[in-house]
Copies of this chain bind each other. A is one copy, B any other.
Amino acid sequence: MNGLILMAHGARDPGWSAPLEASAARCQALLPGWAVAMAYLEFMQPDLMDCGRTLVARGCTEVAVLPLFLGAGGHVRKDLPAQIQALREAYPAVQWQLHAAVGESPRVIEAMAQAALDVAGLAPANPETPPA
């Protein structure tokens, strides 16, 4: 079985992950034969090691890790490769592949621009100057 881990930053606010979980649910619907799971770097559970362990227990022999980050900073360039290396050492029979940050996908760049158009569409075409 193939696995896909959507790896997000995490936040203290439990509602933060709702859109990411929605994206994961959509992925699972689009990839019915795959094991799709979320993991978090900070504040939320599971972390990448726990998530990877679960997928291995489910029989995954190849796991793709997609960072749900808008840009590639220290987390994506340093923290995630180190965690992937730890998974490779813990489960050397499994192929672990770390991919580029999702925010670098032209699909996501375009979707953000289109979402901005939605926002722009909410503004009046000829805004009046509000009273001082």
Q: Which residues of A contact B (CB under 8 A)?
A: 2, 4, 6, 8-9, 11-13, 15-20, 22-23, 26-27, 30-31, 34, 36, 61-62, 64, 66, 68-74, 77, 92-93, 95, 97, 99, 101-105, 107-120, 122-125, 127, 129-130, 132
Contacts and interface: CB of A to CB of B under 8 A. Distances in A.
B116 A71 contact: no
B118 A105 contact: yes
A71 B20 contact: yes
Number of copies of chain A assembled together: 2
A49 B26 CA distance: 37
A99 to B, nearest CB: 5
Most buried by B among A61, A92, A102: A102
Contacts of A9: 70
A87 to B, nearest CB: 14
Given A22-B109, A66-B115, 17 more contacts: A2-B123, A4-B119, A6-B112, A13-B72, A13-B74, A18-B71, A20-B112, A30-B116, A30-B117, A30-B125, A61-B127, A62-B123, A64-B120, A68-B70, A95-B127, A99-B119, A99-B122
Given A30-B125, A108-B108, A123-B64, A11 B113 contact: no
